Amino acid sequence: MLPFEPAALIFDCDGTLADTMPAHYEAWVATMSRYGVPFEEDLFYDLGGWPTLQVAEHLLSRAKPRTPVTPEQIVVEKESLFEQSLTSIRPIDPVVEVARRHKDQLPMAVASGGLRRIVEAVLCHLEIAPWFRTIVTCEDVTQHKPQPDIYLEAARRLNVHPTLCLAFEDTDPGVQAAYAAGMQVIDVRSLYTPRRVTVAA
């Protein structure tokens, strides 16, 4: 049951439609460990929704790498590692089922802080890409979650007022972004328990 009758549904991708967050984190750790830069899992989730380049810049500002590397190089290495795990990605069933039930009834969009080619690859792997009228990624906006821009752009493309949209998110920055856009939000962490790579202290 949805909390109200929305005119459109907008979904984040990673950790919302697709169980990708552990694979993303493992790719990050493998990449950053080459340069002696730590990346704690709690911080990883705190940065949920940030574009890969912005995360790389943040990590390199916190700790000096063992060998010189640019944020752009980090992006290439990290996304390459993630793509190697693509075939193991599974859907987050309760959220995908919501999308499945409404794909022929309401306009739907994906609003993700990921790179377009990665987001599209994940959606195609799950065989759900055709369900969505538009896909908005970090390449389409200048300000990223927790700013509302990506959700506002998704609503604009769907031609639906933001206050009539229902967003599905899995991170605090993403939830904040959707609320800032004027949307109601379902925090999908209430629907499933994401797998963590490390044990919380």
Question: Are the CB atoms for 109 and 154 separated by under 8 Å?
Answer: yes
Q: From the candidates 12, 19, 149, 170, which is the catalytic residue?
A: 12
User: What type of residue is 16?
Assistant: T
Other CB atoms within 10 Å distance of the CB of residue 152: 22
| Among the listed residues 201, 200, 168, 160, the one whose alpha carbon sits nearest the alpha carbon of residue 184 | 168
Tokens describing residue 190: 């209430």
**Terminal-residue alpha carbon distance, the chain:** 35
SS3 186: strand
User: Can 170 be counted among the known catalytic residues?
Assistant: no
Whole-angstrom distance, CA of residue 72 vs CA of residue 31? 12
Tokens describing residue 116: 């377009």
Beta strands in the chain (DSSP E): 8-11, 108-111, 134-136, 165-169, 184-187
Active-site annotation, residues: 12
